[in-house]
């Protein structure tokens, strides 16, 4: 039995909603890769996407904070999402 249709019928979800959610997820994940190209505070260094912010203490001293996302984690999420999308399409139309 087709898994996606089974899930859709169980949760009463239309297949267009399922595909829309998968496409929305893929757009979010690809935006994480594109952000370093458009914004100055995102950089890719040492295999990580870094979000650089500057904090001020109010007394003239400043510090910096790096929030990092591992690129391998992003690749895993992105390609897992693509795999799920293709599997869902195959289940729907085959």
Q: CA nearest 68: which of 34, 40, 32, 39? A: 32
Q: In this predicted structure, what is the pLDDT of residue 21?
A: 76
Rounded-to-integer distance, Cα 83 and Cα 47, Å: 23
In the structure, what pLDDT confidence band is assigned to residue 80 with cuts at 50, 70 and 90? confident
Q: In this predicted structure, what is the pLDDT of residue 76?
A: 72
Pair 52, 64: CB distance under 8 Å: yes
Rounded-to-integer distance, Cα 94 and Cα 89, Å: 8
Pair 78, 87: CB distance under 8 Å: no
Q: What are the pLDDT digits (tens) for 1-51?
A: 577 677 666 666 666 777 787 788 778 777 776 766 666 655 555 555 555
């Amino acid at each position: 039995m087709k898994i996606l249709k089974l899930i859709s019928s169980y949760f009463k979800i239309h297949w267009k909603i399922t595909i829309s959610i998968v496409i929305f997820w893929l757009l979010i994940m690809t935006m994480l890769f594109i952000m370093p190209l458009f914004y100055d505070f995102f950089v890719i260094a040492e295999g990580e996407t870094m979000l650089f912010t500057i904090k001020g203490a109010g007394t003239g001293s400043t510090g910096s904070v790096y929030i990092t996302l591992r690129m391998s984690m992003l690749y895993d999420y992105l390609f897992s999402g693509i795999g799920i999308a293709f599997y869902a399409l195959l289940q729907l139309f085959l």
